[in-house]
């Protein structure tokens, strides 16, 4: 009777051990889904921000061109030529920011795939003593997580630099826009010189 009770306890303990291991694996699996969702949300937010900045920039430039043309002060193509190097520099910064961000998203997707593959691998070998397999998986997970964190910091810094550049240019363009019909070519030249010194 006592022997039977002991073997039941041992069997129960083994089941609980496997259940705990499966729960841990499932929580990692859920983490990979959360990571994929957060990557998607981050991508949506970033894309929306960039789109809004472009729209704002295009609207302000268009109004400025109209005001300058109305005053027979500066034609649209002349305005574009004058402000071209500054707006080109901003576009380059924007493209670099997008490139860095997209690389980060791809790395997050790779991390998700790694998590899922690792989880399935451990689940497939659940009956084996796979302590080494789990240890190796965790070490690799830690390494990838650290790399992703470093990349995220770089991407955030790149985006902040871009935002700051965009904000500075928009401030100056809005200042010109505030002059309304009283904006002239010498005003644009002053802003151009200031921005060129600050940004290029």
Which residues, at least 6 apart from 139, have a Cβ–Cβ distance to it below 8 Å? none
C-alpha angle 159-162-163 in degrees, rounded to nearest 5? 85
What is the domain range of residue 47?
2-199
- Residue 38's pLDDT band (cuts 50, 70, 90): low
pLDDT of residue 96: 92
Residue 20 has pLDDT above 60, yes or no: no
Model pLDDT for residues 88-145, shown as the tens digit of each residue? 999 999 999 888 888 887 887 787 777 777 767 766 665 566 677 777 777 887 788 7
pLDDT of residue 168: 92
pLDDT of residue 33: 57
Rounded CA-CA distance 91/166 in Å is 10
- Per the structure, the count of domains in the chain is 1
Residue 166 has pLDDT above 60, yes or no: yes
Q: Where are the alpha helices (DSSP H) in 125-184?
A: 131-177
Rounded CA-CA distance 122/98 in Å is 36
Question: What's the average model confidence in pLDDT over 174-198?
Answer: 88
Location of structure tokens 């300058």: 68
pLDDT of residue 125: 63
Rounded CA-CA distance 75/82 in Å is 11
Mean pLDDT across the chain:
77
């Amino acid at each position: 009777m006592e022997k039977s009770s002991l073997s039941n306890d041992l069997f129960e303990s083994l089941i609980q051990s496997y259940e705990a291991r499966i729960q841990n694996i499932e929580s990692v699996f859920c983490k990979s889904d959360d990571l994929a969702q957060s990557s998607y949300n981050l991508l949506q937010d970033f894309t929306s921000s960039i789109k809004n900045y472009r729209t704002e920039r295009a609207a302000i430039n268009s109004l400025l061109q109209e005001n300058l043309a109305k005053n027979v002060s500066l034609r649209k193509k002349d305005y574009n030529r004058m402000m071209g190097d500054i707006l080109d520099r901003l576009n380059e910064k924007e493209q670099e920011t997008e490139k860095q961000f997209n690389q980060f998203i791809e790395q997050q997707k790779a991390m998700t795939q790694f998590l899922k593959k690792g989880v399935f691998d451990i689940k497939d070998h659940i009956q084996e003593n796979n302590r080494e397999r789990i240890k190796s998986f965790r070490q690799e997970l830690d390494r990838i997580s650290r790399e992703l964190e470093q990349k995220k910091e770089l991407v955030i810094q790149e985006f902040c630099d871009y935002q700051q550049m965009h904000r500075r240019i928009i401030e100056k363009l809005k200042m010109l826009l505030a002059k309304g019909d009283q904006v002239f070519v010498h005003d644009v030249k002053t802003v151009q010189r200031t921005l060129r010194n600050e940004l290029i």
